[in-house]
Amino acid sequence: MVGALDDLRVIDASGPIGHYAGRLLADLGADVIKVEPPQGDPARAYPPFLPDVDAPEHGLQFLLLNANKRGVTIDVADDQGRDLFLRLLATSDVLLESWRPQEAAALRLTHDDVTAANESIIHASVTGWGLTGPRAQWAYADIVGVAMSGVMTLAGLPEGPPEQLPDLQGYHCASIDAAAGVMAAILHRDASGEGQLVEVSMQEALSMAQETAMQGADILGEDRVRGGSALGTFRMPGLGLYECADGYVFLMAAGLAGSGFPGFLELMDESGEAGDLTEEPYATFINESMNRGLLAAMAQDPDAMQELTKTLNHIDEIVQAFVRAHPKQYIYERSQEHRVLAGMVSTAQDISASPQLAARDWWNEIDDRGRGKTLRYPGPPWQLEGTPATLRRPAPLLGEHNEELFVELGLAPGEIGALARAGVV
Amino acid sequence: MVEQSSNGAPRPLDGLKVLDLTWFGAGPIGTRALANLGADVVRVETEKRPDGLRIGGPRPVGSTSLNLSGYYNNFNSEKRSITIDLTTERGHELGIDLVKWADVFASNMTNRAVQQIGMTWEQVSAANPGIIGIYQPMQGLTGPHSEYIGFGAILSTVCGVNSMTGFEGNEPRGSGTNYPDYVVNPIHLAIGVMAAVRHKRRTGEGQLIDMSQLESSVAALAGPIFALDNGGGDFRRAGNRVSFAAPHGAYQVEGDDRWLVLGCLTEEHWRSFTDVSGHAEWAEDERFATLDARKQHEDALDALVGEWAAGQDGRQAMERLQAADVPAGLVQSASEVLADEHMADRGYFAYLDHAEAGRRAYDGPGFRLSKTPHDLRGPAPLLGEHTFEICTDLLELSEDEIADLVAEQVLF
């Protein structure tokens, strides 16, 4: 079995905003060639680092996102380097890059220049703001996209600052959209022979991640704010974050799906930890009244409200005591076995040790000979039965495939040596 | 420059037939991308158990109609909707007829629900051997947690979003949204489907795509896990800081809860920032002379940047910093994003007329194609809006047959 893109060559000249796009295409089988400046991609210097390995080969973020790619160094700002780059483009199906418009113009590598070198190429541009509009030339960083897209205003505690998304999600969302755009363009090119420009703005790629905020502003004229709670004046037992013996779980034992709070009560009762909740008046209250609509209606009556709050607090205290007495994995797995909506707040260690991911044989180990290490990589986003995504090679050492690629392009050994001495490659 | 081709231009997935049994966010946004690329996406829904997003909001105050949820409508533009009760025998037969019609079958229900409605991969591929089937339950089709249930809020905790967002010591509340539902999982889905479509067009073969939302999410959040597994140390939450840049964060500016974000990724950015902020002396301070030094003295650095920011008008500061090529932005609210002049100039949001909801904003495409546009040519469907036409055109039922099925509550 072979990958869905195993006949395609992708030139990945992108910076960190596009790395994950190149990685996705590589995982699907494409021959992705990472083109870096002679001093290396900036992400090579991003901590944390692989122990006992020196710069520029130790940046773990770079290794993660550039596995499965071959690597060459070309100074595209140099005339000879540019010529070499254009020769490489002529042998390729896709170009992925992240130059702002003024940078592409200065390099003489605009879409027109690219298509002059290869008429049918698919040219994917991934930048902070896209190629048009009043801010097309603006500088970007991941956090800038997250903030300007409306996503960051939703994260954080009311008393603290808005919070960024973890692990460069602005870049990665832009990359995921770029990879999707390239896939669509490949299907069109397969059918027609015609290439085209794929354009991604990080700000736009993230906008969908505002969840309901955009529609709330459009329909109701109201802006969602961070730390907002839809629960009103009382805490609904079994709904929200609970502290465990060793961390947190998130429970939605509230009737949206699964067995709801009655299922959770059954779980507590099995180990004799349900207190008096299986007795009256709680048993009937839990089975008949404890959903948000009914409670909201009851809360309209101030006298009933006081009694209601007392009852809910009592139930919640028992839930809290139960959860606090157990590790998060226990609460998560036992709840799910009772069909209660529950998730544990997994740390990196928990995910690394996940029995589910292990059982599905999701992780890949790869022998990174150039760095003298065996590395453990996460698997792909999908298991494609007919055209599997595969991890075939470690991230390239800086310039690792210069000779191999340049010989393929027809350069003589003497020419390659001269380019290297001139600092072009 | 990228100008989307005019309405009516051919699109890359024209002719692709998608039977869409996904619901909520992670599936429907992915199949929406396919629809906006030209695919004919038919969503099978029921009135008995409608998509939870049809019940939710935002929606006009006091409304209850299943057609008025902005949450649902934004994620389903340009699809068709047929209401069939697949749990009835005749309904299941119609479902299988639609499987035979389709090139792609998509579901993000639990494995148990898929079995209950008789749409497992064995059943679907038996009915249509060349079909592509993408199944996107929370944790995949196999393994000890494959029957686990969840929405994006559950998945966010399990996949690490909560433990990785925010400041050390605070409750792990996460991103304030069901983050993986909106880009990561749906657009990964669209990529996987298009990979399989390519293979099908080349060979005629369909295939099963077993897509675990957990795996898909972790794949995109893997930095801290990859580092942990390979000797890079344990992850610690760092609020708005990153390992490779400083200053980097959100700084409160003048006004009511207004925040400027700043990411000085290079020494040039840092020096330009000190110029624009009128604090050239910071660039000379040995505590801030290199990235390593700034990371070491980041509390002091952030305190100084914060003091400077407190006296700034956020928008003006952003513009002055950007004029000096420093990555800076504002924490925008949704209404600011809707009115954002740059996005408006690029025509990002689509305003589509919907029979009940009226003219409403829809998120535009996350990527643009210069020759075969990815665009939104119609609003979300009303519940069951296309039942009759699909029964007539695709299932070739007569009007009498349709009427009988409605009476039997197989169709709605």
String of b and e for B122-146 (b: at least 16 CB within 10 Å)?
A: ebbbebbeebbbbbbbbbbbebebb
Do B158 and A343 count as a contact with CB atoms less than 8 A apart? yes
pLDDT at A1: 58
The three-class DSSP label of residue B330 is: strand
Which residues in chain B are closer than 8 Å to A386, comparing Cβ atoms? 196, 199, 205-208
Which residues in chain A are closer than 8 Å to B374, comparing Cβ atoms? 181, 184
> What's at A402, amino acid-wise?
N
**Which residue of chain B comes nearest to A204, CA vs CA?**
B366
Contacts of A162 (CB under 8 A, 6+ apart): A147, A152, A153, A154, A155, A156, A226, B250, B259, B331
Measure the CA–CA gap between B57 and B59, rounded to whole angstroms: 5
A187 inside 8 A of chain B by CB: yes
pLDDT at B1: 37
Q: Give the 3-state DSSP-derived string for B149-182, with helices as H, strands as E and coil as C.
A: CCCHHHHHHHCCHHHHCCECCCCCCCCCCCHHHC
The three-class DSSP label of residue B297 is: coil
- B206 CA: distance to closest CA in chain A (Å): 8
String of b and e for B250-266 (b: at least 16 CB within 10 Å)?
A: bbbbeeeebbbbbbbbe
pLDDT at B412: 83
Measure the CA–CA gap between B251 and B305, rounded to whole angstroms: 7
Which residues in chain B are closer than 8 Å to A372, comparing Cβ atoms? none
- B344 CA: distance to closest CA in chain A (Å): 9
- Ramachandran angles phi, psi of B361, nearest 5°: -80, 135
Residue A340 has pLDDT above 90, yes or no: yes
A376 inside 8 A of chain B by CB: yes
Cα–Cα distances (Å) from B379 to B14, B77, B390, in that order, read 18, 4, 18
- B151 CA: distance to closest CA in chain A (Å): 8
Token pair for residue A57? 């080969």
> Percentage of chain B surpassing pLDDT 90?
97
The total of other beta-carbon atoms located within 10 Å of residue A415's CB is 14
Q: 């009556």: which residue's tokens? A: A301
CB contacts < 8 A, A to B, total 514
Do A343 and B59 count as a contact with CB atoms less than 8 A apart? no
Do A163 and B165 count as a contact with CB atoms less than 8 A apart? yes
A120 inside 8 A of chain B by CB: no
pLDDT at B359: 98
How does pLDDT run across B334-363, given as a tens digit for each residue? 999 999 999 999 999 999 999 999 999 999
Tell me which residue of A241, A259, A261, A264 sits closest to A251, measured CA to CA. A241
Do A218 and B361 count as a contact with CB atoms less than 8 A apart? yes
Q: Examine the predicted complex and report whether its ipTM is higher than 0.95.
A: yes
Long-range pairs, B94-97, Cβ under 8 A, ≥24? B94/B391, B94/B395, B94/B405, B94/B410, B94/B411, B95/B44, B95/B119, B96/B123, B96/B127, B97/B394, B97/B395
Contacts of B307 (CB under 8 A, 6+ apart): none
- Ramachandran angles phi, psi of A278, nearest 5°: -85, -5
Measure the CA–CA gap between A152 and A207, rounded to whole angstroms: 11
The total of other beta-carbon atoms located within 10 Å of residue B396's CB is 9
How does pLDDT run across A37-57, given as a tens digit for each residue? 999 999 999 999 999 999 999
Token pair for residue A404? 């191999």
Token pair for residue A11? 């030139």
Asked if residue A48 has a cis previous peptide bond (ω within 30° of 0), the answer is yes
**How do beta strands B258-263 and B248-253 pair?**
antiparallel
Measure the CA–CA gap between B14 and B7, rounded to whole angstroms: 14
- The single-letter DSSP state of residue B96 is H
Do B333 and A386 count as a contact with CB atoms less than 8 A apart? no
- A417 CA: distance to closest CA in chain B (Å): 31
Which residues in chain A are closer than 8 Å to B331, comparing Cβ atoms? 147, 152-153, 162
- B394 CA: distance to closest CA in chain A (Å): 25
Of the residues A5, A6, A167, the best mutation for testing chain B's interface (the one with the most B CB atoms within 10 Å of its CB) is A167
How does pLDDT run across A314-332, given as a tens digit for each residue? 999 999 999 999 999 999 9
Strand pairing partners for B209? A384, B134
CA A401 remoteness from chain centre: 28
In the stretch 17-46 of chain A, residues with CB closer than 8 A to chain B read: 20, 24, 28, 42-43, 45-46
Tell me which residue of B362, B232, B173 sits closest to A155, measured CA to CA. B173
Measure the CA–CA gap between B43 and B102, rounded to whole angstroms: 12
CA B17 remoteness from chain centre: 21
Strand pairing partners for B238? B167
Which residues in chain A are closer than 8 Å to B144, comparing Cβ atoms? 355-356, 359
Residue A355 has pLDDT above 80, yes or no: yes
Q: 């070499």: which residue's tokens? A: A84
Q: How large is the angle between the packed helices A169-192 and B184-203, nearest 10 degrees?
A: 20
Residues present in chain A in total? 425
Tell me which residue of B232, B242, B185 sits closest to B22, measured CA to CA. B185
**How do beta strands A9-12 and A94-97 pair?**
parallel
Quickly list DSSP for B100-140.
Answer: HH-SEEEE-S-HHHHHHTT--HHHHHHH-TT-EEEE--TT-
B181 catalytic residue (yes or no): yes
Tell me which residue of A33, A15, A127 sits closest to A84, measured CA to CA. A33
| A71, A36 Cβ separation under 8 angstroms | yes
Measure the CA–CA gap between B12 and A398, rounded to whole angstroms: 37
Do B215 and A359 count as a contact with CB atoms less than 8 A apart? no
pLDDT at B307: 98
Measure the CA–CA gap between B260 and B389, rounded to whole angstroms: 52
Measure the CA–CA gap between A330 and B257, rounded to whole angstroms: 40
pLDDT at A306: 82
Half-sphere exposure of A280 (CA within 13 A, CB side): 0
| B346, B29 Cβ separation under 8 angstroms | no
DSSP3 helix / strand / coil % (chain B, rounded to 5):
40, 15, 45
Do B209 and A28 count as a contact with CB atoms less than 8 A apart? no
A303 inside 8 A of chain B by CB: no
Tell me which residue of A98, A148, A285 sits closest to B338, measured CA to CA. A148
Do A130 and B245 count as a contact with CB atoms less than 8 A apart? no
What are the counts of helices (DSSP H) followed by strands (DSSP E) for chain B? 20, 12
A372 inside 8 A of chain B by CB: no
Residue A65 — very low, low, confident or very high, per pLDDT cuts 50/70/90? very high
Which residues in chain A are closer than 8 Å to B363, comparing Cβ atoms? 207-208, 214
The CA-based dihedral angle spanning residues B27, B33, B38, B44, taken in that order and rounded to the nearest 10 degrees? 20
Q: How large is the angle between the packed helices A413-421 and A79-90, nearest 10 degrees?
A: 140
Measure the CA–CA gap between A20 and A18, rounded to whole angstroms: 6
Which residues in chain B are closer than 8 Å to A352, comparing Cβ atoms? 225, 228-229
Spell out where A64-121 has E strands. 69-73, 94-97
Which among A163, A172, A225 has the least Cβ separation from residue B240?
A: A163
Which among B12, B13, B230 has the least Cβ separation from residue A376?
A: B230
CA B22 remoteness from chain centre: 14
pLDDT at B202: 96
Average pLDDT for chain A: 95
How does pLDDT run across A382-413, given as a tens digit for each residue? 999 999 999 999 999 999 999 999 999 999 98
pLDDT at A230: 44
A4 inside 8 A of chain B by CB: yes
Measure the CA–CA gap between A354 and A419, rounded to whole angstroms: 49
Which among A157, A176, A355 has the least Cβ separation from residue B188?
A: A176
Measure the CA–CA gap between A418 and B326, rounded to whole angstroms: 37
> Percentage of chain A surpassing pLDDT 90?
88
Residue A232 has pLDDT above 60, yes or no: no
Residue B179 has pLDDT above 50, yes or no: yes
Residue B163 has pLDDT above 50, yes or no: yes
pLDDT at B71: 96
Contacts of B240 (CB under 8 A, 6+ apart): A143, A161, A163, A164, B248, B249, B250, B261
Measure the CA–CA gap between B163 and B167, rounded to whole angstroms: 10
The CA-based dihedral angle spanning residues A51, A56, A61, A65, taken in that order and rounded to the nearest 10 degrees? -130
Which residues in chain A are closer than 8 Å to B211, comparing Cβ atoms? 381-383
Residue A233 has pLDDT above 80, yes or no: no
Residue B3 — very low, low, confident or very high, per pLDDT cuts 50/70/90? very low
Do A215 and B73 count as a contact with CB atoms less than 8 A apart? yes
| B293, B286 Cβ separation under 8 angstroms | yes
Of the residues B32, B49, B175, B242, the best mutation for testing chain A's interface (the one with the most A CB atoms within 10 Å of its CB) is B175
Catalytic residue selected from B40, B181, B302, B375: B181
> What's at B340, amino acid-wise?
D
Do A134 and B345 count as a contact with CB atoms less than 8 A apart? yes
A370 inside 8 A of chain B by CB: no
Of the residues B107, B183, B298, the best mutation for testing chain A's interface (the one with the most A CB atoms within 10 Å of its CB) is B183
Quickly list DSSP for B220-277.
Answer: HT-HHHHHHHTTS-----BTT-BTTBSSEEEEEETTTTEEEEEE--SHHHHHHHHHHT
How does pLDDT run across B199-227, given as a tens digit for each residue? 999 999 999 999 999 999 999 999 999 99
Residue A420 has pLDDT above 70, yes or no: yes
Of the residues B53, B191, B270, B295, the best mutation for testing chain A's interface (the one with the most A CB atoms within 10 Å of its CB) is B191
Do A181 and B368 count as a contact with CB atoms less than 8 A apart? yes
Which residues in chain B are closer than 8 Å to A257, comparing Cβ atoms? 149, 151
pLDDT at B394: 95
- B362 CA: distance to closest CA in chain A (Å): 8
How does pLDDT run across B285-323, given as a tens digit for each residue? 999 999 999 999 999 999 999 999 999 999 999 999 999
How does pLDDT run across B365-389, given as a tens digit for each residue? 999 999 999 999 999 999 999 999 9
| A422, A80 Cβ separation under 8 angstroms | yes
Residue B2 has pLDDT above 90, yes or no: no
Residue A226 has pLDDT above 90, yes or no: yes
How does pLDDT run across A4-21, given as a tens digit for each residue? 999 999 999 999 999 999
- The single-letter DSSP state of residue A164 is P
- B401 CA: distance to closest CA in chain A (Å): 34
Residue A255 — very low, low, confident or very high, per pLDDT cuts 50/70/90? confident
pLDDT at A235: 76
How does pLDDT run across B23-58, given as a tens digit for each residue? 999 999 999 999 999 999 999 999 889 999 999 999
